[in-house]
Amino acid sequence: MITLAGIIGSGKSSLTELLAQELGSRAFFEPVSDNPVLPLFYKGNELAAKKRQAGQKDATNPYAYLLQTFFLNRRFKMMKEARASHNAILDRSIYEDAMFMKMNTDMGNATAIEYEIYQELLANMLAELEQVSQEEASDLTVFIKVSYKTMIKRIEKRGREYEQISSDPSLVDYYQRLLKYYAKWEQDFKGSPLLIIDGDKYDFVENQSDRNYVLNLIETKLVELGQLSESEFARLKTARA
């Protein structure tokens, strides 16, 4: 099982799809298109930021806790299904979610009580996952690391209105904060072997040469971990040549 990690717009879904096609794996995608809470969350962030600027220091986003529990529930289901399939790629896992809830609590978008309840729920889910499987969270986690400039460029390109800084200037602070939280997440991550991809340097979506390089990098790591044979790696490289 491979898990993708990375900030909004880093290219997780695109690389998940590429890897699934390359390795013949089942892809599990982050619930975005069928997520009724996500647009509400972004609007709630905007309103909470305006209230705090106006002096209401305890203003929260009423959808922060709802959004994070929505994601937690969906990802818990995905993790169980992925483990059962024995050959899966996830474009984000349950192990990355707590960072978002922590940041929203630190910003004041969620309350300390909501964070405490969320942590208890997460702990219960992780305990059940550990009972189902004694293996690591995943065989490999691939972290696509991008700068603020690259992130904004890709967010603009995919065109989701509620994600645009032109529509909501408060997102500038939100995105820049998120990059700092991801830097700490990268430093602290212990869930599985971690492979870092430079998403600023390698455009694996538009550039075929970059795509081949990134796929070879991931597959080389899988060979090192004993999850892919040398002969299968050679076959995959030849098929892309």
* Residues placed in the known binding site for ATP: 6-14, 154-158
Binding residues for substrate: 30, 42, 68, 92, 97, 163
CA 198 to chain centre: 15
Gap between the Cα atoms of 64 and 97, Å rounded: 12
Which stretches within the chain are classed as H helix?
12-23, 38-53, 64-85, 94-107, 112-132, 148-158, 170-188, 208-224, 230-240
b/e sequence 190-217, b meaning 16+ C-beta within 10 Å: ebbeebebebeebbbeeeeeebeebbeb
Edge-to-edge order in the sheet of strand 88-90: 26-28, 88-90, 2-6, 140-145, 194-198
Give the Cβ contact number of residue 63 at 10 Å: 23
Gap between the Cα atoms of 42 and 61, Å rounded: 9
CA 67 to chain centre: 14
Gap between the Cα atoms of 172 and 165, Å rounded: 6
Binding residues: 6-14, 30, 42, 68, 92, 97, 154-158, 163
Q: Is 58 a catalytic residue?
A: no
Catalytic residue among 91, 188, 200, 203: 91
Rg, C-alpha atoms of the chain? 19
Tell me if residue 59 falls in helix, strand or coil.
coil
Active-site residues, by number, are 91
